[in-house]
A and B are shown apart, each in its own frame.
Chain A
């Protein structure tokens, strides 16, 4: 169930082993660069790089599809919108809508670009466990501490939130079933009625969460947690030469795509 939320696929490929910071920087750079050029050739370079990375990650294709599926509607919408409303010489008309060659081309380009973007992002989330990603963001966000942004504490907050999601889901399910046993009905009536029906579920869930927050904070203090104090890690992030290679290859891809 966790995988469905965080989309992490456990494995041991070179990409899985890469430092999450390097991966994050690479993915961000590629995503930004992807939008700077409008040529199909550049797009092809990025698509090839993404496909290569995906192959390297040894994640089954089915999982890629899982990442793509929720946004299919967006891709479809983009495609259709461009086709119908882009300017250009029409070669096919029906009703008030005109299809032009340029429109078709633009629609195709934008849709494919969106797919490549998602592909690149998926490679990051499929090969990086959420906690590693959080650690990476905390490290990268360190400079923000000068601006009083508590990046380490935020990272811990995210970690704790992720840790309790499965627990909360189980509790939610139990509470719903228990209230259903008392005759509660969550599936009938209009939106307002359904919202009201959720009160016997939401109130207990909130109460449990507040109590949990109190107790957890106490337990953390009991283990000497002090916000603001620097902490070490059991598995510290360790950059290796292969990470430099990853970054270099990313830079090379961007350069090639820029000049092609």
Chain B
């Protein structure tokens, strides 16, 4: 018989100045050794709950609030809870305090005034457990996202704890980092720690035994994962991200195919596809409600009105179409204190106007550098970059460079103006356009990204959600009416709904003929949007041109894995050259 480690009864929490409770009469019990996933849309109170459990927030009211025997309603109890309950936050950068990994792991124990020898022993234990041996003396800014999160986790758990709360721990990581962290969480689970994981990703929910769904500050669902996955209406309402595998299954179910369960891995999906339908006596994963693919832009509004009317803009009519991009033997090295650090080596490729190109490759392969070289921000030591056939040294070059838009990673970090419209107008104004032309460009750009001026123009950029901010930053570049758009990891750190919205915007841009190049780790997102691909490894081009995934080869051969839908087609014995691009297309072909 398990004992409860957390008991919350009728818990209320309201942020100062807010007009409604963040947690409204929440009831929750967590048992020892359980792994509980907490899900819910933005604003449902997930993060608030995480902080509360860690004794980091003061409840406004409640009948009972006990965590590991500490009374969260009293200040002393909260102080004690910080000792028993560990919390890992979302941003890997903003949790590391000390100069080196080793010292950061020791931070918590130093705060508890442990004797130095005991600290040393425990730190060594933690470093070994989380595989940080090689990084002991490394400085935080030199770590990858996944390494930072593991270091933070080691630091949190260096203090012996009974409960670990993780607040969207992988939201800001790339796929490699995500795997590292989830792997560590699985091992912690197996070691008997009680784990509470707040997440919006379905595959992370799959780690847990039990799921609690929050909506507007109270519990909407509390039960086993399988039960939640059977409630497709809830999945939609709670804006849970489905991995591509799940999307395919959902699309299949919408076409009437009876499935036994919602598959979360490729193997499970293949099994479902190969099974003709559920067997006798097997519980069906029933079609619950009228199902449509989520109308994109529900969060931001207005993406359906794609019609950006003809906007008066500078440049000859002939130039409105996309731009051709070409690299010939481009070589570039960074200069770090006199030492050259090679980044690109003899890179050559060529794409026609209007191409949609995926720039793929592992971290550090030179993708970001290549984008900046294309835009003209970095000058190659050797080789030529041709924009519409015009070389860098040509007097026409600066004008063409200005027609190339470059969106950096996490572009919302560059928002600085007082209103959304003002921020978007920065680029066009810098180009020297007349006032009315600027305004028209801003209107068109805001419309295109689903943040129409009437609703969003006067809002302060920081009052927007993360996904909205990302689209606002994109609008800032689109307002300059680029004929080629380069994006560096556009989908990273976005919640699943925002990712869908952004993908729709990009697909619309590609349809209009803008040349689009996007560098990403997300091979599947790239596959759904691009026909051409450049694969980089170690600064060199592995392949460039029409995207033809490795024929019949081993998945993952080469530096980049094959798109999931290609892999699915191969496993089902179909011709991978005909693999579908999206989940909907896959379901169409399979139904």
Chain A residues close to B by CB (< 8 Å): 1-2, 4, 129-131, 159-160, 162-163, 166-167, 170-171, 174-175, 177-185, 199-201, 203-204, 207-208, 211-212, 215-216, 218-226, 229-236
Contacts and interface: CB of A to CB of B under 8 A. Distances in A.
B503 to A, nearest CB: 22
A157 to B, nearest CB: 11
Given A204-B416, A215-B94, A219-B89, A184 B430 contact: yes
A232 B110 contact: yes
Contacts of B103: 131, 234-235
B99 A159 contact: yes
B568 to A, nearest CB: 37
Given A182-B426, A218-B51, A234-B102, A223 B414 contact: no
A52 B113 CA distance: 40
A212 B93 contact: yes
B116 A232 contact: yes
A230 B141 contact: no
B462 A207 contact: yes
Contacts of A224: 82-83, 108, 111-112, 159
Contacts of A175: 413-414
Contacts of A230: 113
Most chain B CB atoms below 10 A, which of A1, A129, A225: A225
B430 A182 contact: yes
5 contacts: A163-B140, A201-B416, A204-B416, A208-B413, A224-B111
A222 B83 contact: no
Contacts of B83: 224
Contacts, number: 151
A221 B82 contact: yes
Assign chain B's interface to a size class.
35 or more
A177 B54 contact: no
B106 A166 contact: no
Nearest to B140: A163
Given A182-B477, A225-B111, A159 B139 contact: no
Given A166-B139, A177-B372, A218-B89, A212 B94 contact: yes
Contact of A220 (B97, B115, B477): B97
A44 B3 CA distance: 76
Contacts of B402: 183
Contacts of A220: 97, 107
A167 B430 CA distance: 28
B432 to A, nearest CB: 9
A218 B413 CA distance: 21
A221 B56 contact: yes
Contact of B408 (A181, A200, A231): A181
B415 interface: yes
Contacts of B246: none
B119 A234 contact: yes
Interface string B405-426: 1101101011110000000001
A153 to B, nearest CB: 12
Contacts of A226: 79, 111
A130 B476 CA distance: 41
B509 interface: no
A231 B123 contact: no
Given A185-B430, A222-B156, A234-B110, A160 B462 contact: no
Given A224-B159, A232-B119, A1 B413 contact: no
A229 B79 CA distance: 13
A16 B53 CA distance: 45
B176 interface: no
A30 to B, nearest CB: 28
Contacts of B106: 234
B8 interface: no
Interface string B373-406: 0010100000000000000000000000010011
Contacts of B141: 166-167, 170
Contacts of B155: 223
A222 B82 contact: yes
A215 B89 contact: yes
B94 A219 contact: yes
Task: Tell me which of B87, B110, B377, B431 has the highest count of chain A C-beta atoms within 10 A of its own C-beta.
Answer: B110
Contacts of B476: 182
A223 B82 CA distance: 7
A186 to B, nearest CB: 12
B15 interface: no
A232 B416 contact: no
Interface string B136-158: 00011100000000001001100
B129 interface: no
Interface centre among A163, A166, A170, A180 (most CB of B within 10 A): A163
Interface string B485-500: 0000000000000000
Contact of A182 (B54, B97, B427): B427
B393 to A, nearest CB: 19
A1 B415 CA distance: 28
A2 B109 CA distance: 27
B336 interface: yes
A215 B89 CA distance: 9
B465 to A, nearest CB: 15
Contacts of B110: 231-234
Contacts of B477: 181-182
A175 B337 CA distance: 21
Contacts of B411: 178
Contacts of A184: 426, 430
B415 A204 contact: yes
B155 to A, nearest CB: 6
B414 A204 contact: yes
Given A178-B408, A181-B375, A231 B94 contact: no
Contacts of B111: 223-226, 229, 231
A182 B462 CA distance: 20
